[in-house]
Structure 1
Amino acid sequence: MRILISTLLAALTFGSSVSADPARFELDPEHTTVFFTVDHIGYAGTLGIFGTVSGEFVYDTDTQDLSAVDVRIDATSLNTFNDARDGHVKGKDFLDVSNHPEITFVATEGTPTGETTGTVTGDLTILGQSQPVTLDVTLNKAAEYPFGHKRFVLGLSLETSIQRSDFGMTYGVENGLVGDTVHIRIETEAMRME
């Protein structure tokens, strides 16, 4: 992750609005969306969105060092736009939110693939089980935000696919009712905090 962020940010001119000291960035909860699709009996992908996501990291523009990366998803905030399905997916067959109310991602490394693209690898924890996951990342924009407190903001798009059975979530896999592959996408704006 440190390598990726340093590569992406070094390609941009920041001006005087960014300090040379380590700065903490937070994911803007109003502009962060985590959503997924999963196959339903081969007919179509079913969409799910997590409404409550938080995260932060520390970044030093002098050393290009990134640390303290921590993203948390409130599993109980899942919305699939169908009450009965929401109840099922939040239950023991899938997310088991009563016992595992949180999904976490902690980044461990990154690799640049272009001036504004790269991959980030980290540990994703679902149902209390952690697995390494690699996300494709695109830096959409890095600039002072035009509204409010005029904070410096990074706009990022991330995507990956996982096998839910790797986390012990096997309902409907063997009989093909629900796909094993889950396609995940994250759209976020990370704000530099003063």
Structure 2
Amino acid sequence: MKQSESFFLMPALLACFALAPVANVANAAPANFEVDDEHFSMVFEIMHIGYAPVMGMFRKVEGEFVYDEETRELASGRLTFKSKSVFTNHEKRDDHLTGKDFLNTSKYPDITFTITNFETTGESTGVVTGELNMLGQTNPVELDVTLNKAAEYPIGHEKYTLGISAQTTLKRSDWDMTYGLDPALVGDEVNLRFGFEAIKDSGWF
């Protein structure tokens, strides 16, 4: 695998729980929401030798959180990415990313983002703070989040659903992922963008 082959990043955080206030609150009370893995997208991009960003994603993710729409309190939550599911549409590069130079998936199969705090910044925006665990190390991460929609789903499951977008920028070197930094073959900064739907658990009390 060439050194110039690029990397991914994160988690996800994933998540990435864009839990902002809701104008019309339905059944206001703390409720459990599960991330719909069929409607979850996370795109990462990182510069390749300064020429152009390489983009990729993680294809397997699961998560849930407890959120009170009336008080705008995010009580808890976690997002877990399966590191081996990284995908950049290039088989050799993906094999490199799952190896010891980057994700080391055989030793660290999960990348987790655990929520620690949430603050609203506008009518439909906020900042989620959490702890990102990757490669056996944990560092704080902040996500800028937007609540796009909160309503009963119009088709399929027809359950109350939140539609969320989020983004952040990380430095992979903060997790001691330093392959390709010297010389500058693979960038340090990783831009992350998330979009997902989260379904309210009707059995939550």
Q: 1:8 is matched with which residue?
A: 21
Q: Determine the C-alpha separation between the residues in 1 that align with 2:119 and 2:71.
A: 17
Q: Determine the C-alpha separation between the residues in 2 that align with 1:141 and 1:174.
A: 44
Counterpart of 1:169 (choices 169, 177, 183) is: 177
| Larger relative contact order (Cα-Cα within 8 Å, sequence gap ≥ 6) | 2
Q: 1:39 is matched with which residue?
A: 47
Matched position secondary structure for 1:100: coil
Q: 2:15 is matched with which residue?
A: none
Gaps of 5+ in 1: none
Identity of aligned residues (%): 48
Counterpart of 1:147 (choices 143, 149, 155) is: 155
Deviation string, structure 1 residues 159-194 (Cα, Å, up to 9, x no partner): 000000000100001210000001111111010011
1:100 and 2:108 matched: yes
Q: Determine the C-alpha separation between the residues in 2 that align with 1:127 and 1:78.
A: 15
Matched position secondary structure for 2:187: strand
Q: Determine the C-alpha separation between the residues in 1 that align with 2:41 and 2:126.
A: 20
Q: 2:55 is matched by which residue type in structure 1?
A: L
1:160 and 2:168 matched: yes
Q: Determine the C-alpha separation between the residues in 2 that align with 1:65 and 1:40.
A: 40
Q: Displaced runs of 4+ in structure 1, greater than 6 A?
A: none
Gaps of 5+ in 2: 1-17
Matched position secondary structure for 2:104: coil
Matched position secondary structure for 2:43: strand
Deviation string, structure 1 residues 35-61 (Cα, Å, up to 9, x no partner): 200110001000111001110012234
Q: 1:77 is matched with which residue?
A: 85
Q: Determine the C-alpha separation between the residues in 2 that align with 1:20 and 1:100.
A: 38
Q: 1:128 is matched by which residue type in structure 2?
A: G
Matched position secondary structure for 2:76: strand
Q: 1:168 is matched by which residue type in structure 2?
A: D
- 1:113-128 matches, within 5 Å, as 113-128=121-136
Q: Determine the C-alpha separation between the residues in 2 that align with 1:56 and 1:95.
A: 23
Matched position secondary structure for 1:73: strand
In the superposition, the TM-score normalised over structure 2's length comes to 0.85
Which has the higher mean CA deviation after the structures are superposed, 70-79 or 105-114? 105-114
Cα RMSD for the two superposed structures: 1.5
In the superposition, the TM-score normalised over structure 1's length comes to 0.90
Deviation string, structure 1 residues 79-121 (Cα, Å, up to 9, x no partner): 1100000000110000000111111001111222211112111
The 8 Å contact of residues 34 and 53 in structure 1, kept in 2 or not, is answered as: no
The structure where helix makes up a greater share of residues is 1
The 8 Å contact of residues 150 and 161 in structure 2, kept in 1 or not, is answered as: yes
Q: Determine the C-alpha separation between the residues in 1 that align with 2:137 and 2:198.
A: 27
Q: 2:63 is matched with which residue?
A: 55
Q: 1:102 is matched by which residue type in structure 2?
A: D
Matched position secondary structure for 2:154: coil
> Number of residues paired by the alignment?
185
Q: 1:113 is matched by which residue type in structure 2?
A: T
Deviation string, structure 1 residues 118-160 (Cα, Å, up to 9, x no partner): 2111101111111101111111111111012311111110100
1:68 and 2:68 matched: no
